[in-house]
Structure 1
Amino acid sequence: MKAISISAFGAADVLELADAPTPEVRPTDLLVRVYAAGVNRADLTHRTGGYGHPNFGDSPIIGLEIAGEVIGKGDEVKDFEIGDRVMGVVGGGAYAELARIDYRMAMPIPAQLDYVHAAAIPEVFVTAHEAMMHLARLKSGDSVLIHAAAGGVGSAAVQLAYATGATVYATTDGSKLARVEHLGADTAIDYKTQDFAQVIADKTHGRGVDVVIDFVGEPYFARNIASLAHGGRLVQVGILGGGGKVSVELEHILYRHLQIIGTVMKSRTQPEKHDMIKRFRAHWLDRFEGAGSLEPVVDSTFPLSRAADAHRRMESSENVGKIILTMQPADLV
């Protein structure tokens, strides 16, 4: 099969199309002919050596998110058959014609979705649900501030918050404000020209928001704390602005009853990941069909052979929603 190979860590140019062996199917695996794969920030970290080793836990091939057709399965697989259309999160190996996936990490593709849009769902919507609904316990009538709202997880979080009945504040680049509002944000904030903490204070008359979902990290931390209401929850999902150190007055945590929660899917145990998929599937999977359905947001598609260009697109931060690799035969040349 064809797959993307990384001979050395580095810039996008290290991504090369090469031959690779078909993955071995274990008892709980599905073997999937991949038609589309999502590109994620974790892939950039993998490519540049941020995880310190060439394989991502389960495969020497890069990539965490697939959509395709089941062509084989292990003896312990339940509820899936050959020919089923599936999407899901893999422990590596997505940038390839064939990939294996633990059946408990797979979900059926809603009937109205093609493979490209299906590949835009698993990683970002599961992460958004886990952070905002499960950990932060967002409910109807609450308010939430979502940073990086035009990105993959951010755009998913905006939709889930809107569907839940929350008041949604969202930060993004000024050129993307209208798009973020279309996804469900009540107030879109240009992070380059506006102080989001001041906007939150003004809009909420000093109360603050119940939940903050942040992907940026240290540069936003103090203002995130200031933007929380009494009993508010900050969920740290990423550190795009750099890790570094943060400081906080413990009195604010104590007397305002604040909670600071961190979450990263890739460091969860396999049973925890199974539970994350199960929770998302139970709450939202059927909401991708019919009127008023959730919308997998696709920014652009690239053939697998142009994986380097897909990474450059993500590094530019110009995308709104997901960047998808496609694996049609004509793309594998």
Structure 2
Amino acid sequence: MKAIVFDDFGGPEVLVIREVAAPEVRPHDLLVRNASIGVNRADLSHRKGAYGRAFFGDADTMGLELAGTVVEVGAQVQGFRVGDRVMGIVGGGAYAELSRIDHRMAMHVPPGLDLVDAGAVAEVFVTAHEALFHLGRLQAGESVLVHAAAGGVGSAAVQLAHAAGARVFATAGGDKRDAVQGFGADEVIDYRSDDFQAVVAAKTDGKGVDVVIDFIGAPYLERNLRSLAVGGRLVVVGLLGGAEGAALPMDLLLYRHLQIFGTVMKSRPPEVKQAMVQRFAQRWLDALAAGAIRPVIDSSYALADAAQAHRRMESGQSVGKILLLPGKRPP
């Protein structure tokens, strides 16, 4: 089979397509012929050497999510059979024509959802659900501030929060305002020109929001906490702005009864990741089938053009997910 590999860490140009052996199916595995593959920021970090040459559980090659058709099942697999349309999260190895996935990390693609589009679901929606509801405990009638709302996880978080009956504040570049409003945001804040803390204070009569979902890290920490209502919850999902130099107002944390959570999926034990997937599936697969929530796709590239897909993500211009399609011919 063909897969994306790299011999040295570096820029997108190190990614090449090469013939490799198909993965061996283990007792709990599905072997999937991939229709689409989600590109994630963790893939960029992998390419640059952040994880070294580690084995991630399913493969030592790149790629964390996929959608496709089951072509083989392991001896201990339950609930899936050959021919099923599936989507899910893998511990490496998605950037290929065939991938193995533990069936406990897989979900059936709902009727009515295109199989290619399904490749843009698992990583972002599972992460968003975990941050909003399992950690952030967001309830109908509450309010949430979602940063980086035009990105993959951000666009999923806005949709889920809106569908759950929350009031949604979202930060994004002004050129992406219409797209973010289309996801369900009630208030879109241009992070380039507006102070989100001031906007939240003005729009909530100084009360603040109940939950903040943050991807930026240190530069936003103090303003995030000052944007929270009494009893508010901050969930940190990423560190795009870095991890150093943050000011933590301890008096605010103490007297306003605030809580701070951090969540990363990649390094969690298998049973924890499986529980994350199942929590999302139980609550939201019917909504996906009905079209109440939907994958947001920015662009798609042939598998051989993985380098171009990485450049697109690094440009900061994308809205939603970037996909690789093994069945697509390069231009």
TM-score (normalised: structure 1) = 0.97
Structure 1 residue runs without a partner (length 5+): none
Judge conservation of contact 2:301–2:328 (CA < 8 Å) in 1.
Answer: no
Judge conservation of contact 1:46–1:54 (CA < 8 Å) in 2.
Answer: no
Aligned length: 331
Matched residue, 2:298:
299
How far off its partner does 1:58 sit?
2.8
Judge conservation of contact 1:56–1:62 (CA < 8 Å) in 2.
Answer: no
Determine the C-alpha separation between the residues in 2 that align with 1:181 and 1:117. 21
- Superposed, which structure 2 residues align to 1:1-333 within 5 Å? 1-53=1-53, 55-290=55-290, 293-328=292-327, 330=329
Determine the C-alpha separation between the residues in 2 that align with 1:289 and 1:275. 21
How far off its partner does 1:146 sit?
0.1
Judge conservation of contact 1:55–1:62 (CA < 8 Å) in 2.
Answer: no
Determine the C-alpha separation between the residues in 1 that align with 2:84 and 2:52. 36
- Render the CA deviation track for 1:109-145: whole Å, top value 9, x for unaligned: 1121222210000000000000011100001000000
How far off its partner does 1:289 sit?
1.9
Structure 2 residue runs without a partner (length 5+): none
- Tell me the percent identity: 58
Describe the shift of the 1:125–1:329 C-alpha distance in structure 2 as closer, same or farther (beyond 3 A): closer
Describe the shift of the 1:329–1:185 C-alpha distance in structure 2 as closer, same or farther (beyond 3 A): closer
Determine the C-alpha separation between the residues in 2 that align with 1:72 and 1:168. 42
Letter in 1 for 2:133: M
Determine the C-alpha separation between the residues in 1 that align with 2:200 and 2:59. 44
Determine the C-alpha separation between the residues in 2 that align with 1:37 and 1:9. 21
Q: Which runs of 4+ in 1 moved over 3 A?
A: 54-57
Determine the C-alpha separation between the residues in 2 that align with 1:119 and 1:305. 17
Determine the C-alpha separation between the residues in 1 that align with 2:327 and 2:246. 46
SS at match of 2:120: coil
- Render the CA deviation track for 1:266-297: whole Å, top value 9, x for unaligned: 1111000110011000000110122x521110
SS at match of 1:23: coil
Describe the shift of the 1:22–1:192 C-alpha distance in structure 2 as closer, same or farther (beyond 3 A): same
Determine the C-alpha separation between the residues in 1 that align with 2:8 and 2:55. 12
After TM superposition, the structure 1 stretch with the greater mean CA deviation from structure 2, 243-252 or 15-24, is 243-252
SS at match of 2:257: coil
Letter in 2 for 1:79: G
Letter in 1 for 2:297: V
Determine the C-alpha separation between the residues in 1 that align with 2:150 and 2:249. 31
Describe the shift of the 1:247–1:45 C-alpha distance in structure 2 as closer, same or farther (beyond 3 A): same
- Render the CA deviation track for 1:199-224: whole Å, top value 9, x for unaligned: 00100111000000000001111110
- Render the CA deviation track for 1:286-333: whole Å, top value 9, x for unaligned: 10122x5211100000000100000000000100000000011745x9
Letter in 2 for 1:175: D
Determine the C-alpha separation between the residues in 1 that align with 2:176 and 2:56. 32
Determine the C-alpha separation between the residues in 2 that align with 1:209 and 1:133. 15
Letter in 2 for 1:121: V
TM-score (normalised: structure 2) = 0.98
